[in-house]
Amino acid sequence: MIKHRTLLALLAFVVVAGLLAGCSKQNDEVVTLRLVAWGNQREEQSMRSLIAEFEKQHPNIKVDLQITPHARIFDKLMISTAGGRPPDVSRVSSLWFHPCAAKGLFEDLRPYASNDKSFDLEDFYPQAIEGWGKYRGKLYCLPTDIDVYAMYYNKELFDKAGIPYPDWSWDWNTYLEAAKKLTVTDAEGKRIQWGTSTDQFWQSYVKQNGWSVISDDLKYCTLDEPAAYEAIQWLSDLINKHHVAPSSAETLEISSLKLFEAGKIGMYISGSWAAELQFAKDGISFDYDVAPLPKGKKRATFIGGAGYAVLRRSNHKKEAWELVKWLTGREYQRRAAIESQIIPSRRSVAESGAYLKLNKPPKNRKVFLDMIQYGWTDPPVSVSPEMRELMNAEIALATLGKKPAKDACEKVKPVIDQLLRHQE
């Protein structure tokens, strides 16, 4: 009996103490925001120093930055929201913005934006806002940077082959001809240098051919049309017929990126991030620059990027908005552009000296900004990552040369139709 009484007293004490602790916390008013983001070590450093500045300006807010690999933040947001403990703010990728928005993970930022006089939405590139900011009319995410795909080229290889450097006049044919000239085989017939690589999203070729992967009403897949599969076949032919791009068997180990860095690829198609995150890091020894993607029937390139969103289940949305504003603000973007060569999502910063006048290669970096207007982004469907995975899996068979593009497209079409039909 006595034991019970002691236990009860103890319990009461713990409860009271807990309540008191809870109260005292409220009085302090220091809010800790959990921020999830991805980034390499360098980006992390720069992020941390910028966040420290934010904390200095907002003494009542602390930021707990959790660096998570890019590919895993999507899963993490989904599962932690279902589990009831999502972060307050998350860096969001254009690759999986739509499903998160569709599930209602994010807070609509429009009211915050319109009530905040210091904030100007018009400064952002509309392509970015439309691509991974808005979903069904609501503003769920503020873009912070833009990745643009363009063509890096090795000037030395061009000079050696005696070909003029690529420019806005190039189309698929000029590109293929140049690629052929840049491909070198050794005495045994083994290729030791390739004209180009095929790292960009295959969808870009479809877009360049004036077509799209799903219908405008977002209800069915349009890959079974000639304009789609001919473009993919053209891509496959670069590797498997003309052999001007390394096949997956030839690149897998070293990856075409490493081949380009080793001076074995003439034209390397990749994102704007490659210059800083890869070439500079790995130390590239030759002179290179960047050119627009050659046009097919149309000019098109993939643009994607990242942004920041406030989680709807956050308990500190007001503070979270302040953080998002800071993370997408001018000062932050200017510093990020200088330190990491990131293309800012704000036009005022992008077109200022901060990005364009960086004293680093590639010299012709204005190409990236000029390509933005030709950018395509993921279609705004809630199943976009699943759709991309399903399509990539099948199209990969075509680019591996395992089957004609037409067959792959015809096989994948009903699968995508199914998926779009059963969207939740």
Partner 1 sequence: MEGYLCIAPWLIGFALLTLGPMIFSFIISLTQWDLINSPKFVGLDNYRIIFTDDFRFRQSLKVTALYAAMSVPLGMIGSLCVAMLLNLNMRGMRVFRSIFYLPAILPGVAVTMLWMWILRPQDTGVLNHILGFFGVSPKPWLSDPAWALPSFVIMSLWGIGGGMIIYLSGLQSVPTQLYEAAEIDGAGSWRKFTTITLPMISPTIFFNLVMGIIGSFQVFTASYIMTPNGGPGYSTLFYVLYLYQKAFKYLQMGYASALAWILFAVVLALTLIVFKTSAKWVYYESEVKQ
Partner 2 sequence: MSIELTGKRKRVRSRSDAELPKRIFAYLLLLIGSGIFLIPFIWLLSTSLKEPKSIFLDLRWIPDPVRWQNYPDAFKVMPFPLYLLNTCKITFTCLVLQVLSCSIVAYGFARKRFPGRNVLFIVLLSTMMLPAQVTMVPVFKVWSTLGFYDTFVPLIVPAAFGSAFFIFLLRQYFMTIPIEMDEAARIDGANTLQVWWKVLLPQAKPALVAVAIFSFMAHWNDFMGPLIYTTSSGKRTLALALWSFQGQYSTDWHLLMAASTVVMLPLLILFFAAQKYFIQGIVMSGVKG
- Cα separation of 150 and 152, whole Å? 7
Distance of CA 250 to the CA centre of its chain: 26
66, interface contact from partner 2, partner 1, none, CB < 5-8 Å by kind: partner 2
Residues in 246-305 that interact with partner 1 by CB under 8 A: 248-249, 252-254
Six-digit token string for 266: 């003439």
Nearer Cβ to partner 1, position 81 or 204? Answer: 81
Which residue from 34, 98, 295, 365 is in contact with partner 2, where contact means CB under 8 A? 34
Stretch that binds partner 1, among 156-164, 353-361, 373-381, 416-424 (CB under 8 A): 416-424
Residues in 254-273 that interact with partner 2 by CB under 8 A: 254
Q: Alpha helices of 262-365 — where are they, by DSSP H?
A: 274, 281-282, 317-327, 330-340, 347-350, 353-356
283 binds partner 2 (CB under 8 A): no
Task: Write the CB contacts of 19 (distance below 8 Å, at least 6 apart in sequence).
Answer: none
Residues in 393-412 that interact with partner 1 by CB under 8 A: 393-394, 396-397, 400, 402
What is the size of the binding site for partner 2 (CB under 8 A)?
A: 16
34, interface contact from partner 1, partner 2, none, CB < 5-8 Å by kind: partner 2
DSSP one-letter string for 317-345: HHHHHHHHHHHTSHHHHHHHHHHH-PEES
Judge contact between 199 and 256, C-beta under 8 A: yes
Radius of gyration of the chain (CA): 25
Phi, psi (rounded to 5 degrees) for 21? -60, -45
84 binds partner 2 (CB under 8 A): yes
Nearer Cβ to partner 1, position 139 or 416? Answer: 416
68 binds partner 2 (CB under 8 A): yes
Which residue from 69, 162, 189, 283 is in contact with partner 2, where contact means CB under 8 A? 69
Longest CA pairwise span in the chain (Å): 98
Footprint of partner 1 (CB under 8 A): 71, 74-75, 78-79, 81-82, 99, 103-105, 248-249, 252-254, 383, 386, 389-390, 393-394, 396-397, 400, 402, 414-415, 418, 421-422, 424
